[in-house]
Amino acid sequence: MTDRRSSPGTAEILEGYRQYVVPSYARFPVAFVRGKGSYVWDAEDRRYLDFCCGIAVNVLGHASPVIAQALEEAAGRLIHCSNLYYHPMGAELAETLVRWIGAGKVFFSNSGAEANECLFKLARRFGEPRGAFEILTAQGSFHGRTLAAMAATGQDKVRRGFGPPIPGFRHVPFLDLAEMERAIGPATAAILVEPIQGEGGVRAATRPYLQGLREICDRHGLLLFFDEVQTGVFRSGRFLAFQRLMEGCEEEVGFLPDGIAMAKGLAGGFPIGATWIRDPYADLLGPGSHASTFGGSPLACTVACAVLHHLEKEELGRQIREKGERLSLELQAAASPDRGWIESISGVGGLLGVHVRRDARSLAHELLAQGLLVAPAGERVVRLLPPLNVASEEISEAIAILRAANEREATP
């Protein structure tokens, strides 16, 4: 282990960022140097319970032996080969995703924005014969930071200062089927939504809404896309959030969108994105139509296969569903219309939104000082995103920190 006496402290690390790193992030003033399980330690060796989880990335927590072993094995065997060739781990990972979703094929990339970009190009290729190229998305949505992904995002603040926006995207109120259908025009090729809006405040779609979108797309000859970048990989308790939201209704069996973007937790922290495309559209992007130099590398696919196998074997989807329900119920019990800062709780499984009466970022800063990491989601919501293998006692610790902070504010 590195000797902390010779390691840089927080002030030195922050100064290095100030001098040499582009200031495009509003970072909290803490520098982390190591992690284990659900905890991270800063440069002064203070410990924090991590319920930010890399913003839904670290599904197995920090320093997972599952990931470490997969990285070591892949690095010693084959790290990268061009997509001019084949390798077995790409086929294995794609087969796993198809088995868990439905008949189709997978394109591999490196991030959620890239996974969405594949959907954008698929919509344009699909609509090209009739001159259609437009994608309808939801107000409050978030789809990434590339120029096209920003144009798709239904939040003005994300696009501010980068105009004019890429044409081909229009934003419709979330959960409003009538407005979505009215927005369809001759140029419309697809509809893209998040089953649960993460950055938009942890707002979940309803079963009738998802089914209605499928019916609208079928009626008008459009493609239906789901952005599951943040909500996928068992974050909701099922592999994909739309599967969780469709539970218990007749339409669940056989219900599928036409394309799904995934990333974040897919390899537990190693960068990989994946776009699943349903048959019969899976061959629309033929040779030369789309590419990614690093997408689907042997290393990335090996780690993702190891992570997904472990999640399935240990039934971590079921576990996070149960622990998330407990976390939600106990925090909802602390909510009050006129006391403290907890107003209400939204979300499912390991993606919960705590709706608050004050600025979410300042609250996240105060919770950081109490040893708990959370992720702001807009001005009045903080997200709780624990590792999927979080322990019951760690759930208890988070509840105690949150309730104590809430009570302090409620006390005159």
104-117 per-position pLDDT tens digit: 999 999 999 999 99
What value does the mean pLDDT take over residues 251-278?
A: 94
Mapped onto helix, strand or coil, the DSSP state of residue 6 is helix
What value does the mean pLDDT take over residues 92-108?
A: 98
* Per-residue b or e along 256-286, where b marks 16 or more CB atoms closer than 10 Å to that residue's CB: bbbbbbbbbbbbbbbbbbbbbbbeebbebbe
How far apart are alpha carbons 344 and 349 in whole angstroms?
16
What value does the mean pLDDT take over residues 193-200?
A: 97
Quote the tokens at residue 193: 């939504």
Q: Is the peptide bond before 280 cis (omega within 30 degrees of 0)?
A: yes
> Smallest Cα–Cα separation from 81: which of 68, 73, 93, 90?
90
pTM of the model: 0.96
Instruction: Label the pairing between strands 259-262 and 273-278.
Output: antiparallel
Domain boundaries, the chain: 4-63+315-410, 67-313
How far apart are alpha carbons 359 and 379 in whole angstroms?
6
Q: Output the pLDDT for position 337.
A: 79
| Interval 371-411: pLDDT, tens | 999 999 989 999 999 999 999 999 999 999 999 999 887 66
What are phi and psi for residue 72, nearest 5 degrees? Answer: -65, -45
Do residues 348 and 244 lie in contact, with contact meaning Cβ atoms separated by under 8 Å?
yes
Place of tokens 């302090």: 408
Q: Output the pLDDT for position 320.
A: 98
How far apart are alpha carbons 270 and 67 in whole angstroms?
9
Q: Output the pLDDT for position 411.
A: 64
List CB contacts of 192: < 8 A, sequence separation 6 or more: 116, 119, 135, 136, 137, 141, 143, 152, 225, 226, 227
Instruction: Flag whether pLDDT at 339 surpasses 70.
Output: yes
Quote the tokens at residue 89: 């781990």
How far apart are alpha carbons 171 and 187 in whole angstroms?
14
Q: Output the pLDDT for position 90.
A: 98
List CB contacts of 264: < 8 A, sequence separation 6 or more: 54, 55, 56, 57, 112, 229, 230, 232, 233
> Smallest Cα–Cα separation from 363: which of 347, 349, 376, 350?
376
Quote the tokens at residue 94: 């794609």
The residues that are catalytic are: 142, 227, 264
Q: Output the pLDDT for position 86.
A: 97
Instruction: Flag whether pLDDT at 1 surpasses 70.
Output: no
Q: Domain 4-63+315-410 class? A: alpha beta
User: Residue 2: which pLDDT band, with cuts at 50, 70 and 90?
Assistant: very low
67-313 maps to CATH 3.40.640.10: yes
How far apart are alpha carbons 227 and 83 in whole angstroms?
25
What value does the mean pLDDT take over residues 137-147?
A: 97
Instruction: Flag whether pLDDT at 4 surpasses 60.
Output: no
Quote the tokens at residue 88: 């077995």
Q: Output the pLDDT for position 408.
A: 85
CB atoms within 10 A of CB 3: 6
How far apart are alpha carbons 306 and 103 in whole angstroms?
22
| Interval 213-226: pLDDT, tens | 999 999 999 999 99
How far apart are alpha carbons 375 and 368 in whole angstroms?
10
User: Residue 344: which pLDDT band, with cuts at 50, 70 and 90?
Assistant: very high
Beta bridge partners, 356, equal 342
What are phi and psi for residue 47, nearest 5 degrees? Answer: -100, 145
What are phi and psi for residue 259, nearest 5 degrees? Answer: -160, 145
Beta bridge partners, 193, equal 226
What value does the mean pLDDT take over residues 351-362?
A: 96
Q: Is the peptide bond before 195 cis (omega within 30 degrees of 0)?
A: no
| Interval 151-160: pLDDT, tens | 999 999 999 9
Instruction: Flag whether pLDDT at 5 surpasses 90.
Output: no
Q: SS3 for 175-209, per residue?
A: CCHHHHHHHCCCCEEEEEECCEECCCCCEECCHHH
Q: Mean pLDDT score of the chain, rounded to an integer?
A: 96
Quote the tokens at residue 46: 């203070």
